[in-house]
Structure 1
Amino acid sequence: MYFAKNLATFAVKLEIFSNLKQIILADQLGTQHIFETSPRRIISLVPSQTELLYDLGLEDRIVGITKFCVHPYHFKSTKKIVGGTKKVHYEKIRLLQPDIIICNKEENTKEIVEELRRICRVWVTDIITIEDNFRMISDFGQLFNCRIEAQKWNDKLAFALSDFKNFIKDKRVKKAAYFIWKNPYMVAGSDNFINELLKLNHFKNSYDTLGRYPEIHIEKMQEEGNPEIIFLSSEPFPFKKEDGHEIAQFVPDVPIILVDGEMFSWYGSRLLKAFDYFKKLHKTL
């Protein structure tokens, strides 16, 4: 009788303890998620977030990635590729039996997210500002029980950000156009991470009143955008020097510079490398 009573008490305590381990978090779209334990099988459909998960020490938990997840390099041979960011192979994802799928509001479509929710929980990030980036890292720290690593990354990023702001504080603000696509020509506008990093670098976006990623006509650049400097990104469209020559016909006196798109558009841990890249970029201007 005594044993049975104590066993029942132990069972109650165990249940209480289990509930305390429950993870209750809202993603950056405000969707609340409840996990009984930290997810063990992760599929990431966002290249920059795949890199972050790796840097947080979660390599063994990642079971699926996109074909655009190029960092770390060895993942392309050790992880299952389940498609791209806009088109995914649902059956491949289902067979991997994930506990969670990591998506992003901009990188992945609403239709993809809704379909994936039929398979398992989908965590969606929404990164516009650097503060959003800090929150994402903290969220991952709680979600995947790697709080110490997440805090270390946020501390490193906070220090690097402060250092870069000190570096940039006396730089004159210049008007800039940041090209992301050709045929048609498209640039980064407002309400996106690229624009935030342009502002951080003391560049006034020439097209920040035309929406998020407006299509523009290069023959009208001087009258519509009037940039003092033009950046041609390496992604999503891989601009080359020849593309710069084409644009230069319409803005002959404006410097045109090829830039690493990962440094301007990848969030997560990549931002740490971006600050050093930006310093080198400014020294060449």
Structure 2
Amino acid sequence: MRSGSVRAAGPQRIVCLTEEPTEILYALGEQDRIVGISGFTVRPSIARKEKPKVSAFTSAKIGEILKLEPDFVIGFSDIQAEIAGELIRRGVEVWISNHRSVEGIVDYVRRLGALVGVADRANAYADELQRGLDAIAAEAAKLPRRPKVYFEEWDEPPITGIRWVAELVRIAGGDDIFPERAAESLAKQRILEDAGEVVRRAPDIILGSWCGKKFRPEKVASRPGWDAIPAVRDGELHEIKSPIILQPGPAALTDGVREIAAIIKAWSLRAA
């Protein structure tokens, strides 16, 4: 409840099953509405201290969520369909977004803001995120060379980057070597049956973000035949921490893309 006698519009007790709605609601100054968060939430760091953790990504403590008496639960993707279904059967209102593109992330900020009654603030924030992306794209357009980039989301089996990651690589001045895989929404459709395909596509840069575990460039470099890859030969193997790139929210559009842009810029200036 906000100050005075006027009740704030929209849901008052929100549970966020993933990080991105938590980050957005804090950015919009609406964190008081959040009563529960995902255990994987790291942004903003204060959320971990202030809010009870009631879910992972593919599982949730349904009983604990119900005790919080939420009037709105926010999740992401088909992977959380079972959690959503169980909560819906218990009478809880649930919103599952399924955005996979940069444009979709920006629009998600606008939609979430509208759902909680702060559309103007959300639109201003979304515009700010878009301006940041436009500025990075403008800088990248000045680079003397564009690298070919392989983004690896998991190592065993190798999984290539999801759509928003491939788009951010392009914005940052590179070209994802598996654009046809990035168009696939499900991770199983982005599994490389033949890791030798990476060798054949010869990326200049390899970016690793092994969802939830540390990227090991030496393990990648030691794969059979990978010593022929320009990125391996030149030592261009870099980790992008998964919390700032694999969540379809503000982190990817700010810290994530900036890290990618810095790596690409350094490569481009050396390669020129």
Name the TM-score, length of structure 2 as normaliser. 0.80
Distance 1:42 1:82 in 2: 12
Give CA-to-partner distance per residue, 1:170-192, whole Å, 9 cap, x none: 33333221111122222225xx2
User: Does structure 1 residue 257 correspond to structure 2 residue 238?
Assistant: yes
Cα deviation, residue 193, structure 1: 1.6
Say how many residue pairs are matched. Answer: 246
Aligned residue number for residue 95 of structure 1: 67
Written as runs of structure 1 = structure 2, the 5 A alignment for 1:1-285 is 38-105=10-77, 108-119=79-90, 120-171=92-143, 172-188=145-161, 192-210=163-181, 211-212=184-185, 213=187, 214-216=190-192, 217-223=194-200, 225-233=201-209, 235-247=211-223, 250-252=226-228, 253-254=230-231, 255-270=236-251, 271-285=253-267
Name the SS of the counterpart of 2:55 in structure 1.
coil
Shift of 1:240: 2.6
CA spacing shift, 1:267–1:215, aligned 2, 3 Å: closer
- Deviation, 1:101, is 0.5
Say whether the 8 Å CA contact 1:128–1:196 is kept in structure 2. no
CA offset at residue 137 of structure 1? 1.2
Q: Percent identity?
A: 22
Match of 1:7 in 2: none
Show CA shifts across 1:227-250 (max 9, x none). 222111153442134334334862
Alignment RMSD? 2.4
Query: Partners of 2:18 and 2:146 in 1: how far apart?
Result: 32
Q: What is the CA distance between 1:117 and its match in structure 2?
A: 1.4
Contact 2:22 2:31 in 1 (8 A): no
Classify the secondary structure of the residue corresponding to 2:179.
Answer: coil
SS at match of 2:131: helix
Q: Which amino acid aligns with 1:42?
A: I
- 1:159 partner SS: helix
Residue 209 of structure 1 aligns to a residue whose secondary structure is helix
TM-score scaled to structure 1, two decimals? 0.77
Q: Comparing 240-249 with 113-122, which one deviates more in the overlay? A: 240-249
Bigger relative CO (Cα 8 Å, ≥ 6 apart): 2
Cα distance in 1, alignment partners of residues 243 and 49 from structure 2 = 21
Shift of the alpha carbon at 1:219?
4.5
Q: In 1, are the aligned partners of 2:153 and 2:211 still within 8 Å (CA)?
A: yes
Question: Partners in 2 of 1:278 and 1:237 — Cα distance?
Answer: 19
Contact 2:169 2:260 in 1 (8 A): no
Q: Report the structure number with the largest CA radius of gyration.
A: 1
Q: 1:248 to 1:264 in 2, by over 3 A?
A: farther
Unpaired stretches in structure 1, ≥5 consecutive residues:
1-35
Instruction: Tell me the distance in 1 between the aligned counterparts of 2:100 and 2:137.
Output: 18
Give every structure 1 segment of 4 or more consecutive aligned residues whose post-TM-superposition deviation is greater than 4 Å: none
- State the one-letter code of the partner of 2:264: H
